Structure formats: structure tokens, C-alpha cells
Chains A and B, each alone.
Chain A
């Protein structure tokens, strides 16, 4: 936030996640899919950073690389000034309780052969040595926190609705009192009425437990609702990072402008006058991004320099970062 940027909890610098492309009999390395390409940002304690972008732009990969569910190619991620990416297996295991994840598909993220109690209890088994009774008490406490009936403890994931399953996933993420939770499109697989419930639950838990979220979504209005700051990703790079209100009122990057123009207005009068910026063409392949600015192939305001040199990601106004040549002069 602009007024009170608290202590930095998560610092991501120069994060790169390349997936190798191999070809031929000998599996020769012929290139990389640059799913996340040189991403840097900071998340302050207690805030929610929204990460938006279209499908396939690397949002989820970014979230997973931060938690080191993938082994990133380069870069550093520090949580509480401790480097996650450099940690060895044991240190990493000790750091796991601090950072947790809520997954996109609540059906797939719960083991179908475990009961709710076993699913929520798994982190406790791994990181604590509670007695059976204490563990059960903690599981019930967590179920209360996320609004699940205690009587459900013996049931299996397939017996629940999508929203309830997501609550189980949230309870599991909360079990070890984490500081930081990556919410990887937690509402994308739910229908609209349930989305609101889950988002409200996440907000309520944030207030109560002082959590920090990285909220990955492609739902711009939901991000507007929950996030304090918003980062916009395009083809593996963050192209704009700004506090929520300025970003939604006056987007700087042409891609953000196009993205926000696609959000429907609830007011029919305003909807009539809404002017959509329609982008032409397709997203280039992340295996072969264009020279210069990643967005230069589709940008309505493209200039000659955009095709030649890559814009740097820099602060153009206090707290607002943009990677675009349109704003390069003001910074230089």
C-alpha cells in the first residue's frame, strides 16, 4: 500500500522458470519455454498482491516457483529474508510451514482416499508431534475456522461440493499457522455464488490471522475486490505493478488498458459507453518470445523502439511500476 508499506515479507528478484525443450534421439536441449522470465516484486506483510493475466502467461508457474514446487532456473525468493531457492532439502522442509498454497481445482488437490481429518491433519503429522487428542482438537479448530461442520471429519472429498472442498484445502493450508499463502486461482473452479463465500472467507482469515496472500486470478473484478496491489503478467513477465485503485482507474501499460477494458460494467448506462480495446493476433509462444518488448506484436501503441529493445521494469510514479517504452522518457 502507498501510505504504509510494512515490512517486506516476500522478496522475489529475477525469478526465471524455464522448462527445457528437448528434441531428437539424444534429447538434445534445443530451447526453453520461458514460463516465468525475470520477474521481481515484493509482497509486504499483511497485504494481498493480486497477480492477473491471461491463461498461459505464467501466473501459476510463478506462484509454484516461489514455493519451490518447481526448481526455478534462476533468481532468488526470500521469505523473512531467508532464501527459499538456495535452501537445502532439510532447511526447506523447516521453512515449508511458513508458506502454504491453496490450489485451483479443489477436486484434484485433495487425495480421494483420505478422510477430511487425515487431509487437514497431514501437515500436523509432518511438522508437529501432537498427541492424537491434541491433533484432533486442532483439526476441529481448523474446521470451525473455515466453516466446516465438525461432523464431516470422517468423510471423503468426493462427498463434498466444490466450495466445501475448497474450504478443506484452505483448512489444510492454515494448519501450520503460515504467514504467506499462495492462492492459485482458488475460485476459478467454483460457481459465482460460492466464489463470493470463499473470497470472503479468505479475507476474514486474513484479518483474523494476519495472513499475506499472493492471489493469482484471471478474474479482474475479484482481484479488485480482494487485492491491495495488483501485478499484471504477460508472457512470463510482469508488465505493470501498482496499488489497486490507481491501476483500475488509470492503467498505464497498453496491455493493462486492454485487459481492463474487457471487464463488463454492472451499470447498463456505463456499459453502453464502455469502449473495448480489442487486441489483434495471438499471444506469441513463450518458447520464442519476440525481440524487444514481449507485447510489441499486439500493442496498439507500438513504436519502433519496442521492436528493438526490451523495456525495463521501473517505477514511474510512487509505487507504480511499468515495463513500457511509453513511460521510459519520464524515468530517464
Chain B
């Protein structure tokens, strides 16, 4: 409740007023609470700034990220190259901006995919008893798969056909996003299933059943809102691990082509000359950490804001 609401409630003696506030959309309450979470606000600001930098930045800073200038190799910070240049003389600022675009979109999309898969499978397995066995055994099967060889196989099998139909970058993007998404949903599925199993036995679900609420609305109205917290937590953590996985793949030469910048790629390219040029490691590292941290804080604030029990305070 906001200050103005409190004031108006205090001003009207209860029961005496004739105009009642109609039920307002819960999203306003969520926003009101979100605003009180300082960390979340700072996180949101930083995240918006990073997004702005990678979307608007390349329009202002027009050096091509792949432009090789061998005369300007290994330069430090200067006006011409604010973040310096790498061993091939490519501008690091431009590469950071281009890399951020890829890394963040891979992270977001892969996270969304894995959350979607994990939540669907977890809810179905928890809610429908006859689906629990097959779905959870499938989850165990995925957990038991050795991920890196699987990813290797997926990339070698599907890289060429996908590159042909969606272009080299689009194809690899799709491939990496689905590879990461399809191999990281299991934890979410397990957590969600556990929560749903507990929720299913709560009396309000029984009450909804006595009203005659069908299963699909039971899930969307009663189950999903109540498993939001664990989903939110695994979503924010998922972005981080998706960015890292993408960089690991790039490092193995299975991700995007070598000259195509991503934050993970920049990091790994710089590692061998870390002692000479520490800034090349620090910059993409800080970018990844800042993104992950800000997303975590946003998730934290959102989770608090979505829980009415915390919202009141």
C-alpha cells in the first residue's frame, strides 16, 4: 500500500465512506513494492544502461568490431580506442558492445527456454500423478547425460543445416540457445515439481476443486503464482549460467565463429595475455558480472514484490 492509500484509508472512517476503491490491478501493487526495493531499482538501472549501451552504442561508436588494424595492436586506453585494442588491433569497446548483444540475447533466450521447459515439465509432473513417472524419469535421464559431448554432437550435427536455412549467425544463435535451453531445464523441473506436490495438498486447491475449477485454470490460477519464487530464482541464476555456457562453447570452438565477438569469447581470447593486458580480462568479466548481478537483484525485487505477504511491509 502506498503512502497516499494509507492516508486516504485513515481519512475515511471505515464503513462510513460510500465510494469504495474498486479492486485495482495487482500489478500496481507489485510496482509500488518493487520501487521500495533499493537493490532492485539499482539493478534495473544498471541493466537498462547495459541494454542501452549494446543497442544504441554501436550507432554512436561506428568502428566495426571485426575491423583489423595491425598498426594499432595492443594499445592501451586512449581517445581513439577508449577501452584499447586487442592483439589484432580490433577496437575493444566496439567488440564489447557487439559481444554484449549476443551474450545477453543468448542468455535471456536460453533462460526463457529452459524456464519454460522446466516449469511445464515440473508442473505437469507434480500435478498429474500419471505423468509424474515418465516425466521425472526423463528429467533424470537428461541429468545423467554428459552435457559437453551432447552439445558437441548437437553442434556438429546441426550447425550446417541450420546455418544454411537461417544464415551463419542466426543458425548458430538458434543452435546454441536451444542446446543450452534443452540441457539446463532439469533443476527447475525438479524444484517446481517438489513445490507443486506440496501445493497440491493445500486446502485452497481443494476449495477450488469443490468450486469445480478445471485443471488448467487450477494450474494457472493457484499453482503457478505460488511457485513463482523458485522459478524466479532459477531464472535469474539461469541467465548467468547460460552466458557462461555460451562462452565455454565458444572457447571450444563450437559456438559462434572465432571472429564473432561475445563476452565469453573476449574473455577467453584475453586469458593467455592476462598478465600483460589485465584490462582485457577485467572488462568483459565486469560486464558479465554486472549483468548477472543486476538481473539477480531485479529477480529478487520482483520475487518480493510478487509475494503479497512481503508486499504489505
Contact = CB atoms under 8 A, between A and B. Distances in A.
B23 A140 contact: no
Interface in A144-176: 149-151, 153-154, 156, 158-159, 169, 172, 176
Interface in B264-309: 306-309
A118 B23 contact: yes
A101 interface: yes
A111 B309 contact: no
Nearest to B20: A150
A117 interface: yes
Contacts of A149: 14-15
Interface residues of B, number: 33
A69 B21 contact: no
Given A122-B221, A149-B15, A158-B309, A115 B23 contact: yes
B20 A108 contact: no
Central interface residue in B9, B210, B226, B307, by most chain A CB within 10 Å: B210
A154 B23 contact: yes
A109 B202 CA distance: 7
B253 interface: no
Given A101-B210, A126-B211, A172-B207, A111 B20 contact: no
B210 A69 contact: yes
A111 B307 CA distance: 12
Interface string A55-67: 0000000001001
A113 B15 contact: no
B197 interface: no
Contacts of B210: 67, 69, 96, 99-101
B11 to A, nearest CB: 12
B22 interface: yes
Contacts of A100: 210-211
Interface string B64-90: 000000000000000000000000000
A91 to B, nearest CB: 11
Nearest to A107: B203
Contact of B308 (A69, A93, A112, A172): A112
Contact of A112 (B23, B208, B309): B309
A103 B207 CA distance: 8
A158 B312 contact: yes
Nearest to A97: B212
Which 9 A-B pairs have CB atoms at the shortest separation, nearest pair first?
Answer: A96-B212, A156-B308, A109-B203, A108-B203, A117-B23, A113-B225, A93-B212, A111-B204, A123-B211
6 contacts: A67-B210, A93-B212, A109-B206, A111-B204, A113-B226, A122-B211
